[in-house]
Amino acid sequence: MRHGQGEYTYTSKGSEDEPITYKGAWANNKKHGIGKQKYAGVGEYYGYWECGRRQGEGVMTYLNQDVYSGKWLNGKKHGQGTYVFAKTGEKYVGNWNNGQLAKGKWVYPDGSYFEGHFGSN
């Protein structure tokens, strides 16, 4: 049973060529505490974990260099967070609900912005 600090490397179905790695804290055989996970074909997350899921504060850097920094709940963006789009320089600063934009500010590189609700809320 994994418990304490450690590193785990494995492959997942469909990504046998690129291993997934997690280095950080464990409790009762699950990622729990601060850790870093590299996801095959997705990017890298560094932050807090609870019962094997991203939970609390964390930063996800995607392969395309987009970055999300903020709150997580049950493995999804949830609460206050900022998402920066590397290619366009646009960013969203605001609240997330279950992985979806909720209410916040979409800022364009020239300083103009839209502030309000997003999605079907």
Sequence spans of domains, the chain: 1-52, 64-121
Q: Which segments within 14-75 are labelled E, that is strand?
A: 20-27, 30-39, 43-50, 53-62, 67-73
How high does pLDDT run on average in the chain? Answer: 94
Close Cβ partners of 6 (under 8 Å, ≥ 6 residues apart): 23, 24, 26
Residue 52's SS3 state is coil
Confidence (pLDDT) at 15: 61
Q: Angle CA(67)–CA(64)–CA(35) in degrees, nearest 5?
A: 50
| Tokens describing residue 10 | 């494995």
16-62, pLDDT tens digit by residue? Answer: 678 889 999 999 999 999 999 999 889 999 999 999 999 999 999 99
Q: List, for residues 66-117, the tens digit of each pLDDT value.
A: 999 999 999 999 999 999 999 999 999 999 999 999 999 999 999 999 999 9
Residue 10 pLDDT: 85
